[in-house]
Every structure is written in C-alpha cells, then in structure tokens.
Amino acid sequence: MTMTPCPNCRHINDGIAFKCAKCERPLFTEDRVTTPTVSAPKPPSASSWLPPAAPAAALTRVSVVDFNMPFASMVGLMIKWTLATIPALFILAAAGFVGFTALTLLTASLIGLAK
C-alpha cells in the first residue's frame, strides 16, 4: 500500500485516503489530478516499430478526489432517475405482454386447447 504524506502537517496517510487523518486537509489537489505529461517521443531508431513504453503507473491510476454535490441536488437527480424509469417500465410491460401471449398461444396449440 502506498503512503501519502500530508503536504500540510507531514502526517503519513494511507494511499487511499482523501484527506489527512490529522489535519483534514485534502491530500490530492488539482495539480495531482491533471493528466500526467508524457515526454516527447524519441527519434526513430532500429526498434521504432515498437510502441513507446507508457508510464503504466501514471496512466492507470485514477483518483476521484471529491464528489462535491449538494444534498438537495443529489435528491433531485435521484427523483429524475426514478421518473426516467417510467417509460422503460411501459416498454418492458408491453414486451412482456407480447411474449407472454405468444407463449400462451403456443402452449395452448401444443396441448390442443386452441382449435
């Protein structure tokens, strides 16, 4: 596990910590979230057909620093999501009705109830 020192009080925090456990200062500031800079490509050489080795650790690390959303906005978003499911409910109900009817008619014809 990586350890992240606090830039304010030098307290050593877990690598997954959002903010310092001692002084509550956010550990990841804006400049640490930005896309890592990649050095300029080298001039072509004998092995130029190989893709350049990417800095894997810099490209794979994703840090969600802060989810700054007021509570009322989050409640509003959830209500909108709920309302957005209503048309999907109608579509699924119609598809279910068609499928159930087709299966019922098929079963009835197979056992000889429908003449």
**SS3 for 41?**
coil
Residue 79 touches Zn ion, criterion: CB under 5 A = no
C-alpha pair distances (Å), 69 with each of 22, 76, 80, 88:
24, 11, 15, 27
Cβ atoms of 5 and 12 closer than 8 Å: yes
Residue 20 touches Zn ion, criterion: CB under 5 A = yes
Residue 19 touches Zn ion, criterion: CB under 5 A = no
d(CA 78, CA 89): 17
Whichever of 17 and 57 has its CB closer to Zn ion, that residue is: 17
Out of 5, 15, 16, 23, name the contact with Zn ion by CB under 5 A.
23
d(CA 5, CA 7): 6
Least distance in angstroms from the C-beta of 9 to Zn ion: 3
Out of 4, 11, 17, 28, name the contact with Zn ion by CB under 5 A.
11
Least distance in angstroms from the C-beta of 84 to Zn ion: 42
Residue 6 touches Zn ion, criterion: CB under 5 A = yes
Closest CA to 7 of 36, 24, 59: 24
Binding site for Zn ion (CB under 5 A): 6, 8-9, 11, 20, 22-23, 25
